[in-house]
Structure 1
Amino acid sequence: MDRYICIHGHFYQPPRENPWLEAIELQDSALPYHDWNERITSECYSRNAASRILDGDGRIKEIVSNYTRISFNFGPTLLSWMEKYAPGIYQAILDADRKSREWRSGHGNAIAQVYNHIIMPLANTRDKRTQIIWGIRDFEHRFQRFPEGMWLSETAVDLETLDIMAEQGIQFTLLSPHQALRVRKIGSEKWKDVSGGRIDPTRGYLCKLPSGRAIYIFFYDGPISRAIAFEKLLNGGEHFAHRLLSGFSDTRKWPQILHVATDGESYGHHHRHGDMSLAFALHYIESRGLARLTNYGEYLEKNPPVHEVEVLSNSSWSCVHGIERWKGNCGCNSGGHPEWNQEWRTPIRNAFDWLRDQMVIKYEQKAKKYLKDPWRARDEYITLLLNRSADQVHQYFERHTVNALGTEEIICMLELLEIQRNALLMYTSCGWFFDELSGIETLQTIQYAGRAIQLSEKIFGYSIENTFLEKLSQAKSNIAEQKDGAHLYEKFVKPAMIDTKKVGVHYAVSSIFEDYPERTRIYCFTVTREDYHREEAGRIKIAVGRVSIRSEIIKETERLSFCVLHLGNHDFSGGVCAFPGDDAYQSMRDEMMASFEKGAFAVMVRLMDKHFGMHNYSLKHLFKDEQRKIVHQVIRSTIDEFEETYRSMYENNRILMRFLQETGMPIPSVFRTAAEFTLNQDLKKACAEEKGLNRIQGILHDMKKWDIPVDALDHEFALRRLIEALMDELQERPSDFSLLQRIERKLHLFLALPFEINLWHVQNVYYEMAKTIYKTFLPKAKYGDPDTVRWIELFKQIGYKLFFNVPAMLPDASDEHFHARGTE
């Protein structure tokens, strides 16, 4: 009997973008990475694109893409981030789907997802349709094909959602076994009760819908899926393989599909090396012919369902109470604070529902004057989310407007559509999933509400914020100082709101330290310099100018003038205002520059008030990334002074420290602090400058002697970036033997360090070079070319230091001479 295995990974992250900047700002909790998307990409998404299969000695014998062998979906909002910030991994995911179509009878491994992970049964009909349409269009844009299947957020389901999916052409979805009610053979009248997770998960089912449409449903194997996510099944690849195979039964007389579904982050982020367990298990099963790997589309084509099913509406995979987790205090939470309650969930949803309905009324009233069908226009707004170029905007409005629109009308329509987009984003499920109202996920959804309110008040000219805050105040935090939803809105959302003037402030202050080109991009704004003057007098600097700032989202442009005075360190004073006209601007510029040349800085501060009124800004008004960058520049000289002091203290007191240690007396903490700072700085410089193994070992010896901790996190990240840059350079210039030597020396040094360097990217580059560039060197080596022979030998030595099974991987690499040298 045929046996098929299909592993599904649901890869998704909550949207983390600042709604006003359309970008993720620095997140310190993700250090040493910029943000959590970047960190999880490193730990999981990239790993599954190039996972290691090891030999019996723990050396790499093969690097494979798990995405080519499993079914998967990626959240559209996550893929949008990856396309810009992790383009190599993004492309590897698209390539894997393309490869899987070659292997799986034309059926790709990727399936779509409802757009921004809302709980579909809690959405109104209009929002359900938009979520499904946007998910499909986003998938088509990226994978260049129509999706056969679609993932439902939290597998939360109702019949209307299934019907809209079927209406839009989706063939199948995945559910938990606990979401099945009863089954029967197609054509039979007798139903069998399978509630409580008793459905047989090894085949597909037909679900007939009230409209007359139908959709196929697969119910994943619950026990094995739970073992992957929560029971450490990923601790060993062979054990994982046998557990998968245990789901088959000889008593079944049909082609069985053993399939599981978990968060994709299980494979590398939640479980370190989980991607390798997955890769090994699939290799183990496939290489031994124990089952055929497949995806759902291929299995459906070969094995059309012969049973139909009825599903449990308003159910999900992560709430035993159905969908209560996203609207009430059902008891489901993360478990970290059992004393907390989640009563806040209901008033948050009620406030959002009220806001959404208000936006519906306003949107219809305004948009119907210009758009043929306002809701169809919203459904197709995804085309602009994927490509906001001028041509796309023009084509979009040509399709949807009653008459040709002027510039201001286009801006208004884009603002209306952005209100609708943010009203959808505020329902992202993560806002209700966790324990506390003030958690970052819930605050993110409230920010989307804030953006929608800001745009609404701009267009319609009257406030709905106060009523929204009244409703939000009913949501009470478990943390006394966080009070309630209205307090959190005032504390976190209002300060985050951005207008064009704040972009102007950012440009003005940062221009003191950075030479911008005539046109530059600051997040989702384009800033064009019209006039700019900067002068310095010692440590004091001034910048005066005018710019035009264009939002690439709503296409609105505003002209601003500014003046910023830097008095040293973090002391800034700046003013920004709407461009007052050529004469007024010229007068302001001349007054400011004249006062600066006279050194009349107190006068300049008064002039700021005269020309800019209350629009005074400082370093704290910069966006977080640039603010951090400038602060580091400002304090660099101070840090250098501290380093000199610490170094002097350490060097001048080493003999005293040794005496204190030998006599058993405690070393003063100030001496130990000086030693820790100095030795860690010395270690970083020695590794970066290739000072030699003896120098590094000497520093490590001193650190051990004084019981000084190695700053492993900081050192590892810096050294990893260094070796990665060298390896990327080698791939571009493979014949550069001196570069090859530098890399070999670096790796030799790394082996002496008391912490592990993450060599994942370096190994990937080496593996690619071994498959391509290395082979081009072999013919010359066979003819005895000495330079080529020398290159090949050193390349192999690097392979050993990167933990590859070199003899098994490289042609002609089984030579005992190379093997012996590589393991010295």
Structure 2
Amino acid sequence: MNRNICIHGHFYQPPRENPWLEEIELQDSAYPFKNWNERITAECYAPNTASRIFDHDRIVKIANNYSKMSFNFGPTLLSWLARRQPEVYQAILFADKESRKHFSGHGAAIAQVYNHIIMPLANEHDKHTQVIWGIRDFEHRFKRRPEGMWLAETAVDTASLEALAAQGIKYTILAPRQAKRVRRIGEAHWHDVIGERVDSRRAYLCHLPSGATISLFFYDGMISQDLAFGGLVHSGENLARRLVAVFDADEDNHAMIGHVATDGETYGHHQRYADRALAYCMYFVEENNLANITIYGEFLDKHPPTYEVEIVENSSWSCYHGVERWRQNCGCNTGRPGWNQLWREPLRNALDWLRDELARIYESEIGNYGLDAWYLRNEYIDVVLDRSEKNVERFLSEKFQTTLTSEEKTKILQLLEMQRNALLMYTSCGWFFDEISGIETIQIMQYAARAMQLAEEVAGENFEAHFLSILEQAPSNIPELQNGAKIYERVVKPAVVDLLRVGAHYAVSSLFEEYPEETEIYSYTAVSDLQMREEKKGRKLAVGRARFHSHITLEERAITYVAFHLGDQNLDAGIREFVPDESFDALRKELSLAFHHNETEKVISLITQYFGEHRYSLKHLFRDEKRKVFDQILKKPLSEIESYFREVYDNQYSLLTAMKAMQAGLPKPLKHAAEYTLNSDVRRLLEAEPLNVPALEEAIRQVNLLSLDLENHPLGLAATKTLNKAMDRFSRSPEDIELLKLVQREVDVLSRLKVELDFWHAQNVLYRIAQQLHDNKRVDADSGDENAQAWMMCFNKISASLRVKV
């Protein structure tokens, strides 16, 4: 069959990690999830590993979409998935392995330039590092060489294609408007295809000035547009028929490929449940023999290009003006009326200036060791992928081939980290949206701040003043924020972390949790040398010494600290580098004495006397810990509020039920007291193990009796966790009839909660058990065995509740 269909998904999120902590902190805008990566994983990345195919409203098949589509994942996103969502990560890797069985040995996954920079705007060194890091990251995860590579925003110029070809990349995917002219290989005459007139149904060969070649695919623009922004993903069958409709009775009878490319987040995040339409589309095409499902590598292998192409230089898929969206106020934006993007050019100028200054320091310092600085940076990806002490030592000894002191090791790693952050500060999302104070732009400013901090530590040069003078020319659309420099001072600078700040976090948080002798704080290790904690009448005092070690740069520092909690949010702390002297021991004894005598002013005076201006408070905690501390502080007042509401509810219960029976509206204060009380009861029941089914049934009865509302998001998440635990218990002993009966009752009561449950994991478990038992013929309901019949009855009830067709 000459008809081939390929669906490509570009799965990507910008790196969101705090540049100093190497972890994503709490993002309130992603509620009820901790951060946007978690939320999008739940809505998109995970569902596509096990997408549902329905017969009416019952699941009949579960498919891993990644195994049948072409896809790329951003390396920084895969790094996060590997750490925080290992099951999803492993399912993606497994899909690529499985895809090789379907696609003649070619894998579905392709690589991506490392951190999604706009390649035509990058200098030569950055272009090559982005490609090399992208390939090495891919090889590390997928255990094979990538055939193709995704360019961020499909932004392309000839130099970028040269960088891909130089590293053995066979093809990339572009938008139809990025084709300039085409001709059959061997012919002299070119055909102008500007204006999206390129025939997207074939592969093209692009000859490069170096003599190298690379193949290009231009996706179907209209179908891709309807997929991403229209209603095409609402029906898998409609999508399949639309893809098949691109084929015609070509007179040459050559093999054709109907293919689309969109953000992978289309399938579940941007368009809810679109992963199901994608799964059904591929199922429908194969079941009805409408076309071959293929991927680019397989198609290219079987059908080499017969046409060649020239590209439109400096073009992309999301900016009609080429690549101006990432350096100019070109008019491309997300549509906020009255706003402009005049800030884009000064931001680009500030980063370009900083990049060049950092390169000067980097080349000079690494040159002292007689090494090629840019080769060393390219190789540094091996450390980024494995920061274990053994691997870091291996890297340093292999590359430098000399005995390095601990100070030299730290300096070299600081230089390389300075360069890594200089790359990350060009992540494209920083320019994509409408306002310079958006979280994506703040993120790239933070990478710039980290790079400048490292430059000052290594070379003693401070770049911040000049950097801010350029950012002053970047106007904000929000009058009170003024410009980029003011935003940097207001938002970015307070986020800067050094080892003293890590020590401050440790000191303050030690008032609220008891640390072991050695503990991990994000990308740091804290080792306690001396620790004294005291508590009296709601006040707390912590005094100690600790050593802090960075896993990233191997930097170390010993710190002395005092933290004093007066109650509520009132807290005072002092931090300084440790200097061994008798005065600290004297201070510790004097502080303890004053604390026990309730001499609050004297405690604060002693902290001031010893630490001077090196003072910290609750606001200096890292964001996640700050939330935990506030939760602890709020425990008592919230408990008192709940007791009050419960007393009101209990005292007025008979009145509430009588009013409800007579269809009289409940007074708001009484209804609020009842809702608060019953929501608290349901939450505690869901968090307790084992689940008290009768008590939960009674709570549900009371909620229904009084027509009360449950807190959908928090209770939905809690109920989902309880459901998942029940199904996991069942999966470990699927033939235990008594366990099955208990699980069936739990599933039944949880399904009756008036909150939104996520059945995804539970359905996967049930489907997998059904497959295993069917394959092994472990249960035969027709055998006359009463246990088998009882087992099947319970199993069918669970299947009905979870909407899985067995």
> TM-score category by the smaller chain?
over 0.9
Deviation, structure 1 residue 604: 1.8
Scaled by the length of structure 1, what TM-score is found?
0.93
Deviation, structure 1 residue 673: 2.8
Q: 1:247-284 CA deviation, whole Å, 9 max, x = no partner?
A: 11112521111110000000000111100000001001
1:741–1:637 distance in 2 versus 1, CA, 3 Å: farther
**Partner SS for 1:33:** coil
**Partner SS for 1:778:** coil
Distance in 1 between the 2:582 and 2:788 partners? 70
Alignment partner of 1:536 is 2:539: no
1:233–1:786 distance in 2 versus 1, CA, 3 Å: same
Equivalent residue number for residue 636 of structure 1: 635
Deviation, structure 1 residue 161: 0.4
Scaled by the length of structure 2, what TM-score is found?
0.95
The residue identity in structure 2 corresponding to 1:420 is Q
Distance in 2 between the 1:679 and 1:391 partners? 54
Alignment partner of 1:801 is 2:801: yes
RMSD value, Cα = 2.2
Equivalent residue number for residue 45 of structure 2: 45
The residue identity in structure 2 corresponding to 1:228 is L
1:247-396 matches, within 5 Å, as 247-251=246-250, 253-335=253-335, 337-396=336-395
Deviation, structure 1 residue 440: 0.8
Equivalent residue number for residue 435 of structure 1: 434
8 Å contact 1:205–1:307 — kept in the other structure?
A: yes
Q: 1:76-107 CA deviation, whole Å, 9 max, x = no partner?
A: 01001000000000000001001111221110
Distance in 1 between the 2:683 and 2:539 partners? 33
Q: 1:564-617 CA deviation, whole Å, 9 max, x = no partner?
A: 222333332222211121644433333323333444333222221122222222
Equivalent residue number for residue 816 of structure 1: none
**Partner SS for 2:328:** coil
Distance in 2 between the 1:729 and 1:6 partners? 39
Aligned pair partner of 2:704 in 701, 704, 719: 701
Q: Which moved more, 1:294-303 or 1:387-396?
A: 387-396
Deviation, structure 1 residue 546: 1.5
The residue identity in structure 1 corresponding to 2:271 is H
Equivalent residue number for residue 550 of structure 2: 551
Distance in 2 between the 1:332 and 1:302 partners? 39
Gap runs ≥5 in structure 1: 807-824
The residue identity in structure 1 corresponding to 2:387 is R
Deviation, structure 1 residue 724: 1.4
1:541-690 matches, within 5 Å, as 541-581=540-580, 583-654=582-653, 669-685=668-684, 689-690=692-693
Q: 1:373-423 CA deviation, whole Å, 9 max, x = no partner?
A: 111001111111001122222222223226332110111111111111111
Deviation, structure 1 residue 8: 0.3
8 Å contact 2:183–2:308 — kept in the other structure?
A: yes
8 Å contact 1:352–1:426 — kept in the other structure?
A: yes
Q: 1:533-566 CA deviation, whole Å, 9 max, x = no partner?
A: 2222242222222111111010111111222222
8 Å contact 2:711–2:755 — kept in the other structure?
A: no
Alignment partner of 1:208 is 2:211: no
The residue identity in structure 2 corresponding to 1:800 is A
Equivalent residue number for residue 61 of structure 1: 60
Distance in 2 between the 1:731 and 1:664 partners? 46
Distance in 2 between the 1:802 and 1:701 partners? 22
1:665–1:730 distance in 2 versus 1, CA, 3 Å: closer
The residue identity in structure 2 corresponding to 1:700 is V
**Partner SS for 2:731:** helix
1:694–1:26 distance in 2 versus 1, CA, 3 Å: closer
Distance in 1 between the 2:468 and 2:693 partners? 59
1:657–1:166 distance in 2 versus 1, CA, 3 Å: same
Q: Which moved more, 1:685-694 or 1:313-322?
A: 685-694
Q: Which moved more, 1:734-743 or 1:562-571?
A: 734-743
Q: 1:183-208 CA deviation, whole Å, 9 max, x = no partner?
A: 11111111111111111111101000
Equivalent residue number for residue 417 of structure 1: 416
1:805–1:545 distance in 2 versus 1, CA, 3 Å: same
Using the aligned pairs only, state the percent identity. 48
Distance in 1 between the 2:77 and 2:431 partners? 19
Distance in 2 between the 1:564 and 1:381 partners? 39
8 Å contact 1:726–1:739 — kept in the other structure?
A: no
Distance in 2 between the 1:457 and 1:154 partners? 33
Distance in 2 between the 1:608 and 1:736 partners? 63
The residue identity in structure 1 corresponding to 2:554 is K
8 Å contact 1:657–1:667 — kept in the other structure?
A: yes
Alignment partner of 1:721 is 2:724: no
Alignment partner of 1:17 is 2:20: no
Alignment partner of 1:466 is 2:469: no
8 Å contact 1:563–1:574 — kept in the other structure?
A: yes
Q: 1:640-673 CA deviation, whole Å, 9 max, x = no partner?
A: 1101112222333456667888999986543343
Deviation, structure 1 residue 797: 2.5
Deviation, structure 1 residue 141: 0.5
Distance in 1 between the 2:32 and 2:432 partners? 27
Deviation, structure 1 residue 750: 3.1
Alignment partner of 1:691 is 2:694: yes
Equivalent residue number for residue 153 of structure 1: 152
Equivalent residue number for residue 748 of structure 2: 748
The residue identity in structure 2 corresponding to 1:256 is M
Deviation, structure 1 residue 504: 1.4
8 Å contact 1:182–1:195 — kept in the other structure?
A: yes
8 Å contact 1:172–1:218 — kept in the other structure?
A: yes
The residue identity in structure 1 corresponding to 2:718 is A
Q: 1:13-53 CA deviation, whole Å, 9 max, x = no partner?
A: 01111111111000111111110000000000000000001
**Partner SS for 1:21:** coil
**Partner SS for 1:111:** strand
8 Å contact 1:579–1:585 — kept in the other structure?
A: no
The residue identity in structure 2 corresponding to 1:618 is S
**Partner SS for 1:576:** strand
8 Å contact 2:723–2:750 — kept in the other structure?
A: no
The residue identity in structure 1 corresponding to 2:522 is Y
Q: Which moved more, 1:428-437 or 1:497-506?
A: 497-506
Distance in 2 between the 1:294 and 1:473 partners? 51
Distance in 1 between the 2:380 and 2:316 partners? 29
Alignment partner of 1:486 is 2:485: yes
8 Å contact 1:166–1:215 — kept in the other structure?
A: yes
1:665–1:257 distance in 2 versus 1, CA, 3 Å: closer
Gap runs ≥5 in structure 2: none
The residue identity in structure 1 corresponding to 2:95 is A
8 Å contact 2:153–2:318 — kept in the other structure?
A: yes
Distance in 2 between the 1:64 and 1:180 partners? 35
Q: 1:751-783 CA deviation, whole Å, 9 max, x = no partner?
A: 333343111011112222223367668169888
Deviation, structure 1 residue 528: 1.4
Q: Which moved more, 1:517-526 or 1:266-275?
A: 517-526
Distance in 2 between the 1:730 and 1:608 partners? 57
Distance in 2 between the 1:727 and 1:513 partners? 35
Q: Which moved more, 1:80-89 or 1:605-614?
A: 605-614
8 Å contact 2:726–2:746 — kept in the other structure?
A: no
Distance in 1 between the 2:486 and 2:773 partners? 60
Distance in 2 between the 1:88 and 1:566 partners? 41
Deviation, structure 1 residue 698: 2.9
1:354–1:609 distance in 2 versus 1, CA, 3 Å: same
**Partner SS for 2:4:** strand
Q: Which moved more, 1:503-512 or 1:298-307?
A: 503-512
Q: Which moved more, 1:654-663 or 1:523-532?
A: 654-663
Equivalent residue number for residue 36 of structure 1: 36
Distance in 1 between the 2:463 and 2:683 partners? 55
